[in-house]
Amino acid sequence: METGIIRDARIIISCKAWQLFAQECEIPYPGNFWKQSIHIFAPTQRDARLLWIKKRKRLAQACSSWGQELVRIFWSGWPKPLCIRPDLGKRLSGDYLMSHDPLIATPTVEIGALTVTRKLLDKIIWMIENPKAKAALVRVHDEAQLVISQASAQLIAGATVKEAAQRKRAEYWHPYDLLSSRIRISEQVRDLKNGIIRPEDTRYDLSWRGVSKDGLNWRTFSNTYETFVDELGIAYQFSVNSGVERIDPPADLIVV
């Protein structure tokens, strides 16, 4: 059963996602994300049909880029909506919309497994409002990657967003880089809990070496990190990636 704060978090995230979608497609009517579909509520049948006629291609393309299955356009007094599927964009234009800057869709934010606090929710909302940012949220004590943006997941070879959000740093960081990072984070968490520093004082840039699941693809990741402690006393690291570079496998490490 969802707690009240998780339910509220889902509502807030859905509202933020709708605001971005409506802005992208220039939709003047209210709407929301519901499961794997996007709902638009036009005031009249005429408004609904005009919207379908004028924007069906754009809505189909946006539906595809947001990872949704259907756009439904409702109007007052009529329960059966007009529907637009993502492949409509292909039928109308002869090609799919290709995006090199993927947008984040509401289902890719895995918040069900978290105890969502205000500070965590602020970070999740930031990820929704900045869909091009390659962002991730890691819990410090077990180094579990709990929340990851769609854009960040694109950096992980052979993994879905859900799979990427289940990884732990020990599975893909170079051991030496991970050890150095642990020492730094431990000092930051101690100082945060003692009130010596603030979260903004913990921001730093770091490049570290990481490997794909099969142990063959090594790359250097350049990230900006911020460490913070939430209202429950749990420490997290929030990161935004600024670049990735392929490298040769480290000579001092053999992954089997």
Tens of pLDDT, residue by residue over 85-105, are 887 654 444 333 333 333 333
Q: What is the CATH number for 25?
A: 3.30.300
Question: Residues 191, 215: one domain?
Answer: yes
Count of Cβ atoms closer than 10 Å to residue 122 Cβ = 12
Helices within 67-196 (DSSP H only): 88-93, 118-129, 150-153, 161-164, 175-193
Calpha distance 116→104 (Å, rounded):
19
DSSP conformation class of 173? B
Quote the domain boundaries for residue 121: 106-247
In a domain, 254, yes or no: no
Question: Residues 77, 139: one domain?
Answer: no
Calpha distance 237→35 (Å, rounded):
29
DSSP SS3 for 137: strand
In a domain, 173, yes or no: yes
pTM given for the model: 0.59
pLDDT surpassing 80 at residue 51: yes
More confident residue, 44 or 109: 44
Question: Residues 125, 231: one domain?
Answer: yes
Calpha distance 137→128 (Å, rounded):
13
pLDDT surpassing 70 at residue 178: yes
